[in-house]
Amino acid sequence: SLSTGSLSLQPFEYPVCTEEGVVFDLLSIVPWIKKYGTNPISGEPAALSLFFSLLHFVPGKYHCPVLYNVFTNNSHIVANKVSGNVFSYEAVEQLNIKTKSFNDLLTDEPFTRKDIITLQDPTNLDKFNVSNFFHVKNDLKVLDPDEEKAKQDPAYHLKSTNLETRETLAELYKEYKGDELLASTMKEPQAKKTDKLNAAHYSTGRVSASFTSTAMTPATTHEADAIADDTVRYQYVKKKGYVRLHTNKGDLNLELHCDKVPKAGENFIRLCKKGYYDGTIFHRSIRNFMIQGGDPTGTGTGGESFWGKPFKDEFRPNLSHTGRGILSMANSGPNTNKSQFFITFRSCTYLDRKHTVFGRVVGGFETLTAMENIESDPKTDKPKSEIKIISTTVFVDPYEEADVQKLSWCRTPPPPPPQKKKRFKNDEERTPVLNRLPSSLKTVAAEPAHIAGYDPGKSSQFKKKRTVNFRMCSASSQHGISSQQSKNSSCLDTTEMLTLNRRSEKCKADKLFDFYRSADGASGHSSYISC
């Protein structure tokens, strides 16, 4: 149909025409020429200079400007190439061709017979056969940037939707994070480096996971999992923290249970050192209950933790809201601790396992009493007289000491592994050790047969639960007693009991030698041997 462009196949807005009488939309033909440089109908090379604009051919008002007859599918329509005006063939034939007056009927511009271009001839409609178009045969398209962007929207492919569907899709798109979740699952997880401090006793589990999953890269080596940095760091926190709050009513000395609830304790100490609480007020005070502060806005809805995000609760069975002056974290639900805290005026055990207890008042109870005596607004519980934290002082920060200790531990080389006790196989290996023994023991150690009742050739003497009575003799190097003479010399009066276990059958003379080596020849005392 003449009412649609031959490329976009949609009603045209700015019509242009070729010498063959094919009409295109200017918004469609320009990107095509820039991309392909051919005629979309014939496929032959083409340039923009071969196209001319059609004037007085506004969509929806297709009629001849001379005869005023409306154009239909059966109308014979021509265009003047020089002026770009469109007329019915009947008007051009009667007023130009027959009169041989080749001047435009509207602008009076001169033209020739060749400048008359046939746009539609009811006797020849082959050029409107879309199946013969070059771009249709080869499925060539030039997507508009706006159209490409629109195609990314899933609703682009929906032909018609009702109001409820459109509202549902609009609400879904606001919270849709499917692409982000998919992208996160496609990324290969980065393994955290482990060292002697953060290496766990369990593995990462990648070997077993890759064995049963086709989406993971196969892993064949077990690697130790990495413990969280905070968990490793807090192992070195062994002390309490001490902070003083300077208020306009007096000072409050606080003891922080950093060794039991390290996360809450570090948050409070870091905020105090940062000056976060300086100038803040206690925005809520209820007599016989508690006083709450730590919000820089003073409204009870603000405040941030030292890390900029809420942290988890830390409940301990030995930390309870029992007694006056308990320091605890205020929150808006589970695991929503930030910067606000409260101090109790009396026991509130019903708050256990709902709020994290991380300290207590150890000095300045008269200040706490002065705070409690200030009247509050019954509707908002806000003190009528301002209670302000002027500044804070941190006396003991156990986290700095823990960091120093951790750093020094990292730099200290590990101790050497314990050496196993050397076992001698024969007398040749035993000789160097004999040379290091005291002279008073050399003679006796060289001949372990001095134990009464012992025969080295009879291992059957060493049986389960067998008790051997013996008398240990000591040769004195001062008197020059030889090993042969020591048999007849006076022996020590000490009698020891040597009890051997189930594996005693394998004990040989080297075990007895170890016994002699550990004996004190001067005093006559000896130690037991267990094989």
Q: Which residues are catalytic?
A: 284, 289, 292, 331, 342, 351, 355
Cβ–Cβ < 8 Å for 405, 396: no
Residues in CB range of 406: below 8 A, 6 or more apart: 197, 232, 233, 236
Structure token pair of residue 78:
């021509």
Structure token pair of residue 200:
């766990």
d(CA 434, CA 414): 33
CA angle 381, 382, 384 (to 5 degrees): 120
CA angle 275, 281, 286 (to 5 degrees): 135
d(CA 527, CA 496): 9
- Pairing assessment for the beta strands 357-363 and 250-256 based on DSSP bridges: antiparallel
* SS3 state of residue 107: coil
Structure token pair of residue 390:
């002027």
Question: In the chain, what are the helix, strand and coil shares in percent, each to the nearest 5?
Answer: 30, 20, 50
Cβ–Cβ < 8 Å for 320, 286: no
* SS3 state of residue 461: helix
Residue 410 CB-half CA count within 13 A: 12
| Longest pairwise C-alpha distance within the chain | 165
Looking up tokens 């329509």 gives: 77
- Please, what sign has the CA dihedral across residues 498, 503, 508, 514? negative
